[in-house]
Chain A
């Protein structure tokens, strides 16, 4: 039995995933990643400040037996340290005072830096965590266009928007790749692209075997289609924040590298001091060196889900 089989058998991964991890990270880091993926990552919430003062809510929830600790990059984000009963079933949740949102998922909206005077497009908006975060950051003013194609997911988006009292959104059920046909040009775009979800294994162990290598390739095609559409509907000088909850370079650096070749966008700094730089060499391929400006997040390094963020500016 070789090293790949040993690790695949010990951690119950398909062989192809272990092979890829070894090529990307080497033996020691692969072991660290696999081990970190077996450990639960803390759940977290983001408090909606247009509804309640975060400290008031924390003290209310602590009286009910919940315990929290702050998330360093988001003042309104808190890890749940103790959850006597489901955080998604409290009367405070029903009042729309918070959204149950993973800590790394709070980063794209922070990187986007929304302003109430911007026209903002969220291309894959359901179930609404990031869209609600943006709406909250601009004090429920301005205009956000949210898109989603999935009939079931868009229902939960609507319910979440309504629960959190968000009133500055226009929601369309459509394929985001079709949006350039509208002729509307926007200032800022959040593209949290559909992905294989390789980064969420700590939350969902079934992901280890539910997706195959072909799925990575399929997702990367969709991601490329979406980011090209995003660039088309962006104003000159406008910015796109591209993110996925996958750590596969084909869904991240390779997608960005392809659009960089068209010289319509440039990579700009995310402004984040956390996370690892994007990859510039992998699987015997070299990509644009500026991809270092992207940020990668791993369970064994940042104690978050696996995540990727990149910020682009239209030339």
Chain B
């Protein structure tokens, strides 16, 4: 049985920490005039909904619990937040904690595989070991979320073109573990 309610302070803190990791104030920007709702069952699913949806949801609450509402941000399991693909899409608009892959890397990643240096076009900032990073294609479209298994150094200057082969990338030991990718929609989402 899943019950729906407003988010509590500890859940909001977890959510904020995880959004702040990708950039301060992203959560404030996206949640202006909106409500956070939690579907509490075996796990806690966090949804962000507009004022208009919230009014209808409130009216219907006594009648029936919803199955899905607004935008699904992710799940809290044992005080850990698992980003949804929708929340990663949002974070991609605001954050530069990302790595840009070539076409080969894009295909690899959306098939659920990890990425290596040969798949990387651009690394905009330095990353530490075990950092979570957004993985995007050359059009800046989100492919998913990865985790660095080694530290990675920023590898290309702002002026360089993304298609240029960059020695700093190929010489680095890069492995990005696939945590979630948009291929999920085909593998599990159908």
Contacts and interface: CB of A to CB of B under 8 A. Distances in A.
Contacts of A172: 60, 64, 66-67
Interface residues of A, number: 32
A130 B50 CA distance: 21
B53 A162 contact: no
Chain B contact residues: over half helix, strand or loop, or mixed? mixed
Interface in A154-170: 154, 156-163, 165, 167-170
B59 A184 contact: yes
B182 A95 contact: yes
A142 B51 CA distance: 10
B85 interface: yes
B189 A181 contact: no
B114 to A, nearest CB: 18
Q: How large is the interface on B (under 10, 10 to 19, 20 to 34, 35 or more residues)?
A: 35 or more
A8 interface: no
Nearest to B103: A91
A229 interface: no
Contacts of B66: 170-172
Interface in A53-106: 88-89, 91, 94-95
Interface string B40-81: 000000001110110011011001101111111000000000
Contact of B63 (A94, A95, A183): A183
B89 interface: yes
A137 interface: no
Given A162-B85, A163-B189, A171-B66, 11 more contacts: A88-B186, A91-B107, A95-B142, A162-B189, A167-B70, A168-B53, A169-B70, A170-B66, A170-B68, A171-B67, A183-B63
Interface of A: 88-89, 91, 94-95, 119, 141-143, 145, 154, 156-163, 165, 167-174, 181-184
